[in-house]
Amino acid sequence: MGIRIALAGNPNCGKTTMFNDLTGSNQYVGNWPGVTVEKKEGTCTRDKSITITDLPGVYSLSPYSPEEIVTRDFLLDGGPNVVINLVDATNLERNLYLTTQILDLGLPVVVALNMMDLVEKSGDTINVAKLSQRLGCPVVETSALKGRGMEELLAVAVNAAKTATPPTPNLPFDAAVEDALSQVSDVLGTRVKPHTARWFALKALEGEERTLDALNLPAGDREAIAAIREALENRLDDDAESIITGERYDAIGHVVDACVKRSLKGATATQKIDRVVTNRWLGIPIFIVVMTLVYYLAVSTVGTLFTDWANDGVFGDGWLYTGTEQYDEAVATWEETVAAAEEAGASEAELAVLAEEEPDPATFGVYIPGLTPVATEALESIGTAPWLVSLIVDGIIAGVGAVLGFVPQMIVLFLLLSLLEACGYMARVAFIMDRIFRKFGLSGKSFIPMLIASGCGVPAVMATKTIENEKDRRMTIITTTMIPCGAKMPIIALVFGAVAGGDAGATWWIAPLFYFLGVAAIIISGIMLRKTKMFAGEATPFIMELPAYHVPAAKNVLMATWERVRSFIVKAGTIIFLSSIVIWFLQGFGFYDGQFGLLDPEMEGYMDYSLMAGLGNALAWLFAPLGFGNWESAVTSITGLVAKENVVATVGVLTAAGDVGEADPTLWAAFGTMLGGSVPAILAFCAFNLLCAPCFAAIGTIRRQMASAKWTWFAIGYMTLFAWAVALMIYQFGLLLAGGAFTVWSGVAVVVLAGMLFQLLRPMPRFDGESAVKKLDAKSSAAA
């Protein structure tokens, strides 16, 4: 029989770091049965017979949130052999509250006194032997970040599991409370096991319905316990739950006073840094500078170098390593010759001869062909059917390759974000944004899902379950996916390339602009929604711990980066792979001369007869006021609903099949050509696809979290309509700034702007928000 270890602790105590250290890559991530709380389980790398379960980070075992319920249910009924309770040694008072509850469960417990390196650095000292004696269980000093004490911790935990010795804490409560607990224990009798008697007595005395229902006590026993509770409350003049909470903190205070010796040093490095980065006036500008730098490095500099190499080389025609200057001169001369021939009215046959004279890069130096020509030549050499060659080259390689080509930018972005999270800065950002969000009707808790959304919208929507207020939670679900996620990054990079052209330095601002467009959209939406009947009211308060700054461990940063990149690649290899095939089929098959079948790619304008063109033409009118009213761009936006990476994949498939012109051989130039080369249209296209309804996976998660079809459709409808309005204003006002004429749609854009400003600036009306929510819920329930 193997050993099962449960890893429990407060949020930000280093639990994930320790779990990664103990399990490495031997992890399974899923959801707990019946809830969307993330479940992590892994095999210990040091001993394969040990299974470690990483429980959600909680502050207590009270059943008020899904995380707390999952944690306590697993500890009570999940069968762990031992519990490793991580305690942040720099904040014992807060962390030991959970410890006192875990000790009451009667399970073997080992306390991991984590972040001891920071305690020592601050000059504080903790008497570990005395702490172990007071808690009645082994206490091991650790630093999960530096791998310190891990071997000893694991050895002590294994020994505790084998001996199955329950803890014997020396944490007595007030005599009156202990007397009441003794009376409740007598009522419970043999219904509970001796090692869990104190836990159930405490919960029964508190009057916790979940525990009382689980015990299935007869009415007489419940009345007896209620009488004991009432007597205690009358004696101490407080409710039972508050009395127990106060007793726990009193006991913890005595333990800390006896075991911890504080240093008289001045302000720590963390406190000095926080005076600057969390400053009321400097906090937001510093955050803007940091995120601008992150996106600038990922999209405009380092990431672009490798992405250009991947798109032009691996998934393009190939690389020319030497003789590039001579090749570029030859291409320029050839293009001038073709242009002159066209102006002179050369025939199609003459132009075809000139096309065949395009300079071959292989004749100018060391040339390595890319995947596209290699695959084409290999398939044609074995007599592969033309339609299959087209499917593989123009469909799969062009579609999947267009997405995978942006992986280098993803790596740089996720690496930088992981560094910011690991060092403790992102926790400060949540604190800073709470000041801003509360002024606009959103809780600071809403920023945590938005922070997660920079990686993926699915876990971001799931993270909203920690928001207790139902109105705040729903508002956060509706707005959180407006933040550019990893899947939207290729869209931003595509737009950056199309606008930048050959002058990337002058347009470095594009990528950061669209990140902050998402933040602005959330703030604007929060204000407008809060002033409606359904969302009226005050935002809930936001309380969180700010961990001390520390140098991130390379292993943890790399693992976090890899997990995000891996999910991106997996999606490209599954959803995008299938989508590329569907897109290829829609653009390759259609009706011509009254017959349905595979269209001849040699026929001029053959794609105008395709199924995709029919779908695009049916929907193009919706996007015409936004500047991208042709069927190609309309279809591109629609396929983005399956997965946002599909936007780039669709562009890759369409431009590989269509004639984008010899002067525009790259994906970026082809995309620009598809939108008529209009910068306002390109920016409007990006804004719409970033802010509209998210991918199918995120929509499915929204449906589960909303638990209502009507609320889900409301969320999708709001996001899409808001995105359309923003894109309309960008395009129409962009045209006016460029000297265009004032049209009917310009007037519509002015009306939309005026409507938004009115909703933003008008006083907060007095609505009964709860009533409006209940009405929508009632309608949803009736429809179900």
User: Given 163, 183, 203, which residue is the final one in a domain?
Assistant: 163
Lowest mean pLDDT among 355-364, 543-552, 590-599: 543-552
Mean predicted confidence (pLDDT) in 160-186: 89
Residue written as tokens 């669709």?
A: 650
The reported pLDDT for the residue numbered 728 is 92
Task: State the SS3 of 755-766.
Answer: HHHHHHHCCCCC
pLDDT at 281: 80
**Co-location of 247 and 329 in the same domain:** no
Q: What is the number of other CB atoms lying within 10 angstroms of the CB of residue 169?
A: 19
CATH assignment at residue 21: 3.40.50.300
**pLDDT at residue 657, rounded to an integer:** 40
Query: Would residue 51 be called left, alpha or beta, if left means φ above 0 and alpha means ψ between -120 and 50 degrees?
Result: beta
Lowest mean pLDDT among 264-268, 361-365, 534-538, 574-578: 264-268
Rounded to an integer, the average pLDDT of 602-608 is 68
Is there a contact between 134 and 258 (Cβ–Cβ < 8 Å)? Answer: yes
Measure the CA–CA gap between 179 and 33, rounded to whole angstroms. 39
pLDDT tens column, 278-301: 777 888 888 888 877 887 777 666
Say whether both 95 and 57 belong to one domain. Answer: yes
On the question of pLDDT at 498 being above 80, the answer is no
Per-residue confidence (pLDDT) for residue 659, from 0 to 100: 38
Highest mean pLDDT: which of 171-180, 273-282, 487-496, 642-651? 171-180
- How confident is the model over 738-762, as pLDDT tens digits? 887 888 989 999 999 999 998 888 8
CATH of the domain at 236: 1.10.287.1770
pLDDT the model gives residue 4: 92
Same domain assignment for residues 233 and 121: no
User: Does residue 336 sit in the same domain as residue 477?
Assistant: no
Predicted confidence (pLDDT) at residue 50 exceeds the cutoff of 60: yes
Give me the percent of the chain exceeding a pLDDT of 90. 10
Q: Would you say residue 285 lies in a domain? A: no
Task: Give domain status of residue 307, yes or no.
Answer: no
Identify the pLDDT of residue 265: 61
Residues sharing a CB contact under 8 Å with residue 776, sequence separation 6 or more, in sequence order: 534, 708, 710, 711, 714
**CA–CA separation, 199 vs 606, rounded Å?**
74
How far apart CA 734 and CA 736 sit, in angstroms, is 5
* Domain assignment present for 728: yes
Of 261, 284, 311, the domain-final residue: 261
Residue bearing the bigger pLDDT, 311 or 379: 379
Provide the domain limits for residue 353: 322-366
pLDDT for 1-43, tens place per residue? Answer: 689 999 998 887 888 888 888 887 666 665 555 555 677 888 8
Q: Are residues 148 and 198 in the same domain?
A: no
Cβ atoms of 649 and 400 closer than 8 Å: yes
Q: Are residues 239 and 157 in the same domain?
A: no
Strand partners, 595: 592
Is 217 among the domain residues? yes
Read off the tokens for 485: 């996620």
Where residue 718 falls among pLDDT bands split at 50, 70, 90? very high
In the predicted model, is pLDDT for residue 656 greater than 60? no
The pTM of the full predicted model, rounded to 2 decimals, is 0.57
Count of CB atoms situated within 10 Å of the CB of 439: 12
Residues 647 and 753 in one domain: yes
Structure-block tokens of residue 484: 């550019």
Q: Domain end: 261, 278, 308, which one?
A: 261
Q: Are residues 158 and 180 in the same domain?
A: no
Is residue 587 within 8 Å of 653, Cβ to Cβ? yes
Judge whether 382 lies within some domain.
no
DSSP state of 317: S
pLDDT per residue over 525-540, tens digit each? 888 888 887 777 665 5
Domain count, the chain: 4
User: Is 126 in the same domain as 233?
Assistant: no
* Sole residue written with tokens 């190939």: 318
The answer on 327 and 205 residing in a single domain is no
Tell which phi-psi region holds residue 82, choosing left (phi > 0), alpha (psi between -120 and 50) or beta: beta
Same domain for 491 and 516: yes
Q: Are 455 and 485 in contact (CB under 8 A)?
A: yes
- The percent of residues above 70 in pLDDT, for the chain, comes to 79
Q: How far apart are CA 374 and CA 33, in angstroms?
A: 48
Domain for residue 268, yes or no? no
Alpha helices in 440-488 (DSSP H): 447-453, 457-462, 470-480
574 has pLDDT over 80: no
| Residue 311 forms part of a structural domain | no
- The more confident residue out of 602 and 213 is 213
What average pLDDT does the segment 356-360 reach? 81
pLDDT at 382: 86
Same-domain status, 116 and 247: no
pLDDT digits (tens, 9 = 90+) for 756-781: 998 888 876 665 544 545 555 555 55
Q: What is the pLDDT of residue 778?
A: 54
Domain-located, residue 485: yes
Residue 663: per-residue pLDDT: 31
66 pLDDT tier (thresholds 50, 70, 90): confident
In sign, the C-alpha dihedral spanning 42, 45, 49, 55 is: negative
- Which tens digit of pLDDT belongs to each residue from 384-410? 877 788 778 776 776 666 666 667 777
Question: Which pLDDT score is estimated for 263?
Answer: 74
Q: Is the pLDDT of residue 327 over 90?
A: no
Distance CA 269, CA 743 (A): 59
Higher-confidence residue of 695 and 286: namely 286
